[in-house]
Structure 1
Amino acid sequence: MVTIQHLNLTLINGYLEVLDIGVLQQMLDLYVQQSQLYLTGIDEAITQTDQKLWQEHCHKMKGSAASAGLLQVYDKLVAIEKSAEEWSVKEKHANALRLVNQQAIDAFKEWLSGQ
C-alpha cells in the first residue's frame, strides 16, 4: 500500500478524531494549492539562481507538508532546503520533489476515499 510510506497516519488519524472528513479534504485541497505556489517559487529560485529564495520556498513547503502529514515530501525538503549544490542538481531535486509531492497527494486522496 503506497499510502503508508507517504503519510504520517498517526497525525492524520489524530486529525480525524477531532475533525470531520470534509475538513481533511479541505486541508488537502489547500495543501495542493499552496504546494503549487511553493513549487513555482522553487522554479523561480532556480531560474534566478537565488539561494535565499530557494530556502524560503523549500522551508514554507516543508512546514505545509509536515502539517498535512506528508512524510516523504517533508523528508525530501529537509534534505534539499539548505543544499549548496549546483543549480543543475537543485533542478533535479525540484523535479524529484514534484514527483514525490504528487505521489503523496495521491496517497492522501486514496486514504480519504477509504474513510
Structure 2
Amino acid sequence: MRSFILSCRHQLGVGLPEVMITLLLLSSGSLALTQLQLRNLQTAYQSQTLTQQTLIRTEAIEQLWQQRCYLAALSSAARQDYLLTDYAELFSAESGDPAFPASFWQTHRPATADC
C-alpha cells in the first residue's frame, strides 16, 4: 500500500506530449468531419442543379409536343424565333448550348405524322 502511495506522489499530471497528441487527434477528426460535410453540400447542390436542368428540359420537350403541328409547319428560322421569344426561360440563344432551339428540335423532334 505504501509503494502505491509513493508512486502516486511521483506522478505530477499529464505531460505536454500527451496533450499535444490529443489535440492533434481531435483537430484531425474535426477537419475530416468538416471535409465530409463540405462534400455532402457540394453533392446536394449538384443534385439540385441537375434536377432543375432536367425539369427545364422536360418542360421544353413538352412544349415541342404540344405545338408539334404548328412548329413543324414553320421554317427553321421562324421556329427558332418563336421558341426564343415565347419560351425564353426554356431555350437558349447560344448556338453551342443543347437547349438552342434548332439543335433541340433535331434532337427531340416530336412525331408529326398526324398533323
TM-score normalised by L of structure 2 = 0.33
TM-score normalised by L of structure 1 = 0.33
Structure with the bigger percentage of helix: 1
Larger RCO, structure (CA 8 Å, separation 6 or more): 1
